[in-house]
Structure 1
Amino acid sequence: MTTLSTLEFLQRHIENNLPMNATTEMRYPTAISKLLDFRIIAIAKGHATLSICTDPSVHGNQQGTVHGGLLSELADAAIGTAHSTAIQKGESFTSLDLQIKFFRPVWQSTLTATASPVQRGQTISHYQCEIARENGDMVALASGTVMTLRGDSARGR
């Protein structure tokens, strides 16, 4: 079994060059990402871009547009993925908050969510995530705070 850092695991996954027996400390792909069909399309230390092909017949709200909760989950997944590449072996993390602003509705579209740090601290880090349509129009902007967990607090998480 080959244990890779989360960053290397995800880089190799994107490149379709992941050894069959490769593992990492984090659970990738995550269960929620598999369920919602999120794809990691770019990764670097502290940065992540995820995508999803939306369809109102699957992801729609009562108005027939894509539900804001899906956009929130996409942003949270991108922020969490970005942070998972920046923590040390044996550490984990938890989200402290997530705020999102919606700018325009979404119907059928390929969305990208790009998360990057605004300020990375030893324990508390702040991220921003832009969600855009394939034509580049920003549909939402999220910010989130993440707390890195160590020692007993990180075990089993």
Structure 2
Amino acid sequence: MNRERSYTWGDPLELATAAQRLSGRDFLARIGSGELPEPPFGATTGIVAVEIGDGNVVFQLRPAEWHYNPIGSVHGGILSTLADTALGCAIHTKLPAGTGYTSLDLTIKFTRAATLDSGLLTCVGQVTSIGRRVGTAEARITDSADRVVAHAVTTCLIMPGSS
């Protein structure tokens, strides 16, 4: 039997405009508080911010059937998206208003399958190093039993005056 899913999302242009005038930390905090709309990818994936700090963030995802790959576990691309989100946003918390960034690389290691039985997945992202042009960060995804599902690192290019 086929299943169905529907959802809505806010105007991404509203977010892009706000990113130009707010520091990264303030921007992300306003999304988390609901003052700014949830990004479209968040509505699509179910990834939500639960904590925004200074150089660190926490995102969560509750696995659903529609996250599954053909062999019955959460698709690695979904887990990669969760990690990439936490990694990039950790770096974003350190950036001033109007400064953009983009991932230069993402390395992720999967250590166990994630399924509905994994419960809530939590990804903690933390800045390792931040400079004028490059930032690095690391993240861990754990399941509800605090077992590591994946760990990842990234390098981001920092682009002053380009958000």
1:75-90 alignment runs, 5 A limit: 75-90=83-98
Q: TM-score, normalised by structure 2?
A: 0.79
The structure 1 residue matched to 2:156, chosen from 125, 146, 154, is: 146
Structure 1 segments unaligned to the other structure (5+ residues): none
1:84-123 alignment runs, 5 A limit: 84-108=92-116, 109-123=119-133
Q: Percentage identity across aligned positions?
A: 30
Equivalent AA in structure 2 for residue 103 of structure 1 = T
Q: d(CA) in 2 for partners of 1:116 and 1:36?
A: 21
String of CA shifts for 1:32-57, please: whole Å, max 9, x gaps: 112111110111122111001002x2
Structure 2 segments unaligned to the other structure (5+ residues): 1-17
- Pairs aligned (count): 142
Q: d(CA) in 1 for partners of 2:28 and 2:97?
A: 15
Runs of 4+ in 1 over 6 A off after TM superposition: none
Q: Report the counterpart of residue 7 of structure 1 in structure 2.
A: 25
Q: d(CA) in 2 for partners of 1:60 and 1:36?
A: 12
Q: Secondary structure at the match of 1:143?
A: strand
Q: Secondary structure at the match of 2:84?
A: helix
2:90 aligned with 1:72:
no
The structure 2 residue matched to 1:135, chosen from 145, 152, 158, is: 145
Equivalent AA in structure 2 for residue 5 of structure 1 = S
Equivalent AA in structure 1 for residue 147 of structure 2 = D
Q: Report the counterpart of residue 60 of structure 1 in structure 2.
A: 68
Q: Could you say what the CA RMSD is over the residues aligned between the two structures, in angstroms?
A: 2.0
Q: What is the deviation of 1:134?
A: 1.3
Higher helix share: 2
Q: What is the deviation of 1:9?
A: 4.2
Higher strand share: 1
Q: d(CA) in 1 for partners of 2:133 and 2:22?
A: 23
The structure 1 residue matched to 2:60, chosen from 34, 51, 66, is: 51
Does structure 1 conserve the Cα–Cα contact (< 8 Å) formed by 2:86 and 2:123?
A: yes
Q: Secondary structure at the match of 1:54?
A: coil
